[in-house]
A and B are shown apart, each in its own frame.
Chain A
Amino acid sequence: MSVSWPHAVAVWRRNATMYRRTWKLNILPNFFEPVFYLAAIGIGVGAYIQQMGGTSYAEFLAPGLVCVAAMNGASFEVTYNVYVRLHHEHIYDAMLTSPIQADDVLAGEILWAMTRVMIYGGSFFVAVVLFGLAPLPQALLALPVIPLAGLLFAALGLAFTLRIPGMDLFSFYFTLFLTPLFLFSDVFFPIQERLSGGWSWLAEALPLLHPVRLARSAFQGSWSWLQVWDLLYLLGASAALLAVARRAIRERLTS
């Protein structure tokens, strides 16, 4: 069994049709959250910080928040929304009475999560440009990082959602996993500079660290071999998590 892309697109279109009804309610909170962080921390707290490795604090913060927008866009979609479709609305059971297969459902949901990632990550990127915090054209190289980060967190969230027995566990995922990632993945400060040498591997394990470093390299126009590692981490972890999610969705839908 493999993915049939026309069927995956049919899954995607179902979500898109729904979203067209509700996007006005959805898009505003999702869009403004990173904008508030940028204003409060970047500009507010940043006013007390003289220099951050050669840039203003707001300039340091902006690329990290672009990745956070991508992470959140993916995570909300593949956690609560997918859980409700799976367990409460039984949408996938109905899909599987048509030629759609479990793999197509997974591919369609990933496509849809990526669409939302592009909407939120992209619109926040535009906001960053309007704030004058993205040096053009070099910052444009950060744009491909948005889908890469989105894919990683879509796969991670799906693997989690498809395995958990109840919705309560999402509070663990958000509070004990995504929130620390948000706080310790180079978004607000360079974590490696605060860790003693023996612990630096721990920071390297954080999935959000890598897209943040990539996006910041693009914004600052300074690349090193470290970014190759970041890219490999993103692609490798996404591939591994997609394999986990694929197994999980087959078990959930076709036992």
Chain B
Amino acid sequence: MGAMALSDSPGAPETCVVEMRGVSKRFGEKLAVDTLDLEIPAGSCFGLLGSNGAGKTTALRMIYGVTRPTSGSIHVFGSDVQRDPRGIRARLGVTLQDNVLIEPLNTEENLRVFGRYHLLDESRLSQRIDRCLDLLELRSHARLPVSNLSGGFRRRVAIAMSLMNDPELLILDEPTTGLDPALRLSLWSLVRELQAQGKTVLITTHYMEEAQRLCDRVAIMSGGHKICEDSPRQLIESRLAREVVEIDCPPDREIELLGDYPGLLQRLRSGGRLLVYVDDARPLLQWIRQRDDLEGRSLVVRPSNLEDVFLDATGTALEASP
């Protein structure tokens, strides 16, 4: 038994739930997605990051077989999406960016209607409705018309709908946009719970903190391209120094402040703030204090995060030396 398990696991290739090879999508003149390669391992939480218009939603639509790629191939659960979209969509769930609810119906009825899209029989329907109401903590709101629900509850109903078929892959398109922090936290724990059940989660977001906390791997997209991909930790470590000094500083005061500080790794600018990346912030702070009394200037030292990687990767980076 033990020997079998051992001989099986090491050599076996990691199974991928989603495999995209050289996928492009053109809408008229606009190239929405440009030769995208993605592999999403089973059981992982994968984040697709990027600002609005980066091509995230188009990439998702191609994965669940609604948008046909202009070129390239997409396999989901090992099958070609264009060949078997029904079979593939039976095994995945999608929460769209905008909640699509039937306003006059209550939560339970909305779930029932959606379950019927998956052709669940009546006993399976009731069973899944029960499960989804519990999972999303919607029990107390089961009989209320969804038009009476707050934004957070409406979002939960939308997510519950996408779980009606007990999907192996859950696709969440910007699930927490517009949600309050408490709700965001509860959604994160839901994602972890689903992952613990062995499900794969594909999420798009423009909240870097969310991606850093949730995702095993992230890919950053900009203008239809994938710019980089790795675990959040690897991305941060490989691209940036460990710490950031954030200072209020107009561009013309930069040289005054930093001068020719030795060993300066990288600088970025975000609005009126200057971000300086160094492995150890203390000597830099001393250096700055010698040159400026920092009167009326805010200065923050913090660890580098995915937000910094995003700024760096999407091209707002400055040159490394003055």
Residues of A within 8 A of B (CB): 4, 6-7, 10-11, 13-14, 17-18, 21-22, 89-91, 93-101, 253-255
Contacts and interface: CB of A to CB of B under 8 A. Distances in A.
B27 A255 contact: yes
Interface stretch (B5-13, B111-119, B253-261): B111-119
Interface in B157-209: 161-162, 165
A97 B96 contact: yes
Contacts of B275: none
B122 to A, nearest CB: 12
Interface residues of B, number: 28
Nearest to B86: A99
Interface string B81-101: 000011101100110101010
A99 B100 contact: no
B67 A13 contact: no
Given A97-B162, A98-B89, 8 more contacts: A7-B117, A10-B116, A11-B117, A18-B104, A21-B104, A91-B100, A94-B96, A97-B94
Given A7-B119, A97-B89, A254 B100 contact: no
B119 A13 contact: no
B64 interface: yes
Contact of A22 (B64, B66, B96, B104): B104
Contacts of B116: 10, 13-14
A100 B89 CA distance: 9
Contact of B118 (A17, A18, A98, A255): A98
B100 A13 contact: no
B96 A101 contact: no
Contacts of B162: 97
Nearest to B82: A1
A203 B257 CA distance: 86
A17 B117 contact: no
B109 interface: yes
Contacts of B94: 97
A99 B89 contact: yes
B100 A93 contact: yes
B105 A96 contact: no
Nearest to B84: A99
Nearest to A10: B116
A98 B85 contact: no
Contacts of A95: 117
Contacts of A254: 66-68
**What 6 A-B pairs come out closest when comparing CB atoms?**
A97-B94, A94-B100, A98-B117, A99-B86, A10-B116, A99-B89
Contacts of B87: 99
Interface centre among B90, B114, B165 (most CB of A within 10 A): B114
A21 B146 CA distance: 14
Given A13-B113, A17-B109, A17-B113, A90 B86 contact: no
A91 B117 CA distance: 12
Nearest to B64: A97
Interface centre among A10, A89, A90, A99 (most CB of B within 10 A): A99
Contacts of A13: 113, 116
Contact of A90 (B85, B89, B98): B98
Contacts of A4: 86
A13 B115 CA distance: 12
8 contacts: A6-B119, A7-B117, A18-B104, A94-B96, A97-B89, A97-B96, A99-B89, A255-B68
A126 to B, nearest CB: 28
A89 to B, nearest CB: 7
B4 to A, nearest CB: 37
A4 B84 CA distance: 13
B76 to A, nearest CB: 13
A8 to B, nearest CB: 11
Nearest to B103: A89
A90 B158 CA distance: 13
Nearest to A255: B67
Given A93-B96, A94-B100, A100 B105 contact: no
Contacts of B104: 18, 21-22
Given A99-B117, A255-B67, A18 B100 contact: no
B299 interface: no
A91 B162 CA distance: 14
Nearest to A100: B117
Interface string B113-135: 11011110000000000000000
B102 interface: yes
A83 to B, nearest CB: 16
B85 A101 contact: yes
A100 to B, nearest CB: 5
A250 to B, nearest CB: 10
Contacts of B114: 94, 98
A112 to B, nearest CB: 13
